[in-house]
Structure 1
Amino acid sequence: MASLKEVAQRASVSLMTVSRAINEPQRLKPETLAKVREAIDALNYVPDFSARKMRGKSSKLSTLGVLALDTATTPFSVELLLSIELTAREFGWSSFLVSITSESDSERAVSQLLSQRPDGIIFTTMGLREVNIPPRLVGKNLVLANCISPDHALPGYIPDDFGGQYQAMKLLLQKGYRNPLCFYLPESVPAGIRRRAGAEQAWREAGMPAEQLRQFHMESGDEHYRDVVQILERFAPNGKPDFDVLICGNDRIAFLAYQVLLAKGIKIPQQVAVLGYDNMVGIGDLFIPPLTTVQLPHREIGREAVLHLIEQRPNQGLIKIDSPVLERESL
């Protein structure tokens, strides 16, 4: 394995210049930085951050540990983890991931994480939820990503579920839809409550009658996704829907709704428009017609969580990240 000295010799610079290229690249002239990076690539040099930390020669953040509860085991939130890794890499920091696979696995995961002596920790989950922080992480340099603590005392970055659904409902009203049927996530899920509140706020502001906004929540558990089939049967007897737009709690609900509506011969969006939520990676454009949905800002959440640690931002509580509406042909 190549050494720091060999990199310096190949680039014709000092050892200090190589160190700065790795740790503080902004301090070097672009041409000098390019020479050092060419030497690093040519020699396949790998910086030994752990040795540097053990010697106590760096007071700056160098390693981010990611504690992932369900995040790495589901396809819907991979973008969050990728954003964390790429942002850390962009600023010259290393990162590593430890997954929590169950509640009973928490102690093992925390021990594994802390054994690496991370300078900062990101606790992340799949799907916005309230989490109990393991006691051994209390007082650590910790930021939450896509989750909240019971007392909201920890810094965290979460999607603006209220704002996303609020803007989506405003779009529907602007387009003239007046008879929505809403099928939200469970009331036990933070996003389910916040998205409903956002839709109701936009509805009230438009001066629309409350009884005209028909709303349902899923029961908890994936097996209840199919409940949307019965609800659609109830409100679309004989293939004649009495609603003009279906507001779905996420894109998975919209996927089921498409099948039911199209099987009944109901045209989307000519007879019924459909709105999803999440913008599941690689899925939205596969709907026919393509699904209008709200973007979960996983990429931005991951990036902001990393920058919170790198920039040593003060604890500002929960920061909500915009969730934009992505309009496609289902409206």
Structure 2
Amino acid sequence: MASLKDVAKLANVSLMTVSRALNSPERLKPDTLAGVQAAISELNYVPDLSAKKVRGARATPNTVGVLALDTVTTPFSVEITLSIEETARAHGWNSFVVNMFSDDSPETMVDLLLSHRPSGIIYTTMGLRQVPVPPKLLSLPCVLANCESLHEPVASYIPDDEQGQYEGVKALLQAGYRRPLCLHLPAQHLATIRRRKGLSRACREAGIDPDTLLHRYMDFGDEHYRDIPAMMAAHMPQGKPTFDCVVCGNDRVAFMVYQILLAQGLRIPQDVGVLGYDNMVGIGDLFLPPLSTVQLPHYEIGRLSALHIINGDRHRETVRVESPWLQRESM
């Protein structure tokens, strides 16, 4: 790979002149700049950002740094980082991601992120949660995506889970269903707590006491999706459901519910309606019949978070992003 010295030699100029051509081209005479640019093109030279940092130049004057806690290792929230990158590019900014896993040292990963000298930082997580924000992150413009700060007030963009669940359950009840089996995600999850509030509000508006419904909660961990068949069987004596619809904690739960209902010869939605949540990427339209669900607005969360940095917004509020209800054919 060609170096800065190679470019300087071919253009017959000093290293400083090449540096100015890259960082402050307006400071060079047109013919000198043209000569350096021709050498760069001929050698296919790619600027070395780390070298620029060593020289004291600001390598990334318009760069969004993303600290991603378990975000890009799962298909469920990858749209957040995708949206951040697309939004940054559309506004002439760059972006980069530093992945942080649950067993990583936050201090080490934050130092790695800051070593790239971003202009602003987005801290994002897989699954809505409250997080302690490392103080070093607050030395720069910082915003949270899909998470909330435990301590210091920091601007955050999160799904409006309560309203999303309200809209979905309201549509379910308006379709004539009255005896839901509610298969919730783990009880301690923020999303579970807020979605339960939305469900309760929709039920009360329809004259139904939400506390009289069948409520079952998953344990924490992906392996507990395998508990769904037993949860349903407890309310299906001789394969006949005591419920007329299922409110699912997410689309993966709905996937299990479909298998169980169809295996019993039950029709969806004629015998049992099914409501999902998430609109899981690439999956929602593959259900037969297509799954009615609520959209987790991950792409919009990423876009708004990136714009918060790009536009220099300074508010420290929590913004709840609309989670749209998607009517399909399962209810």
Q: Give TM-score, length-normalised by structure 2.
A: 0.82
Q: Following the alignment from structure 1 to structure 2, what is the Cα–Cα distance between the partners of residues 295 and 42?
A: 49
Contact 1:152 1:318 in 2 (8 A): no
Q: Following the alignment from structure 2 to structure 1, what is the Cα–Cα distance between the partners of residues 327 and 69?
A: 31
Look up the match of 1:175. 175
1:100-133: per-residue Cα shift (whole Å, max 9, x none)?
0233332332121111111100000111111122
The 10-residue stretch of structure 1 (260-269 or 297-306) with the greater mean CA deviation from structure 2 = 260-269
Look up the match of 2:252. 252
Look up the match of 1:121. 121
1:275-296: per-residue Cα shift (whole Å, max 9, x none)?
1100110001111111111100
Q: Following the alignment from structure 1 to structure 2, what is the Cα–Cα distance between the partners of residues 90 and 300?
A: 15
Q: Cα–Cα, structure 1 residues 285 and 56, in superposed 2: closer, same or farther, change >3 Å?
A: closer
Contact 2:122 2:144 in 1 (8 A): yes
CA shift for structure 1 position 210 = 3.6
Number of aligned pairs?
A: 297
Q: Cα–Cα, structure 1 residues 286 and 136, in superposed 2: closer, same or farther, change >3 Å?
A: same
Q: Following the alignment from structure 2 to structure 1, what is the Cα–Cα distance between the partners of residues 321 and 43?
A: 41
Q: SS of 1:72's equivalent?
A: coil
Q: Cα–Cα, structure 1 residues 49 and 90, in superposed 2: closer, same or farther, change >3 Å?
A: farther
1:108-167: per-residue Cα shift (whole Å, max 9, x none)?
321211111111000001111111222322333110000111136110000000010010
Asked if residue 108 in structure 1 is aligned to residue 114 in structure 2, the reply is no
Q: Cα–Cα, structure 1 residues 210 and 63, in superposed 2: closer, same or farther, change >3 Å?
A: closer
Look up the match of 2:209. 209
Letter in 2 for 1:96: F
Letter in 2 for 1:165: Q
Look up the match of 2:97. 97
CA shift for structure 1 position 324 = 0.4
Q: Cα–Cα, structure 1 residues 240 and 109, in superposed 2: closer, same or farther, change >3 Å?
A: same
RMSD: 2.7
Look up the match of 1:143. 143
Asked if residue 234 in structure 1 is aligned to residue 203 in structure 2, the reply is no
Q: Following the alignment from structure 2 to structure 1, what is the Cα–Cα distance between the partners of residues 207 and 42?
A: 66
The 10-residue stretch of structure 1 (302-311 or 217-226) with the greater mean CA deviation from structure 2 = 217-226
Contact 2:58 2:117 in 1 (8 A): no
Q: Following the alignment from structure 1 to structure 2, what is the Cα–Cα distance between the partners of residues 57 and 131?
A: 29
* Aligned positions of 1:302-317 closer than 5 A: 302-317=302-317
Q: Cα–Cα, structure 1 residues 204 and 42, in superposed 2: closer, same or farther, change >3 Å?
A: farther
Q: Cα–Cα, structure 1 residues 43 and 175, in superposed 2: closer, same or farther, change >3 Å?
A: farther
Q: Cα–Cα, structure 1 residues 266 and 138, in superposed 2: closer, same or farther, change >3 Å?
A: same
1:233-283: per-residue Cα shift (whole Å, max 9, x none)?
111122211111100000111111111111111111110011110011000
Look up the match of 1:191. 191
Q: Give TM-score, length-normalised by structure 1.
A: 0.82
Letter in 1 for 2:89: R
* Aligned positions of 1:12-161 closer than 5 A: 51=52, 54-55=56-57, 62-151=62-151, 153-161=153-161
Look up the match of 1:271. 271
Q: SS of 1:107's equivalent?
A: helix
Asked if residue 163 in structure 1 is aligned to residue 163 in structure 2, the reply is yes
Q: SS of 1:128's equivalent?
A: strand
The 10-residue stretch of structure 1 (298-307 or 101-110) with the greater mean CA deviation from structure 2 = 101-110
Look up the match of 2:37. none
Q: SS of 2:193's equivalent?
A: helix
Q: Which runs of 5+ in 1 are unaligned?
A: 7-14, 17-40
Q: SS of 1:87's equivalent?
A: helix
Q: Which runs of 5+ in 2 are unaligned?
A: 12-24, 27-40
Q: Following the alignment from structure 1 to structure 2, what is the Cα–Cα distance between the partners of residues 42 and 320?
A: 50
Q: Following the alignment from structure 2 to structure 1, what is the Cα–Cα distance between the partners of residues 103 and 57?
A: 36
Contact 1:239 1:265 in 2 (8 A): no
CA shift for structure 1 position 230 = 1.0
Q: Following the alignment from structure 2 to structure 1, what is the Cα–Cα distance between the partners of residues 265 and 106?
A: 49
1:10-65: per-residue Cα shift (whole Å, max 9, x none)?
xxxxx65xxxxxxxxxxxxxxxxxxxxxxxx999897888859944699xx60110
Aligned-residue sequence identity (percent) comes to: 54
Runs (4+) of structure 1 moved beyond 6 Å? 41-50
Letter in 2 for 1:208: I
Q: Cα–Cα, structure 1 residues 310 and 255, in superposed 2: closer, same or farther, change >3 Å?
A: same
Q: Cα–Cα, structure 1 residues 148 and 57, in superposed 2: closer, same or farther, change >3 Å?
A: closer
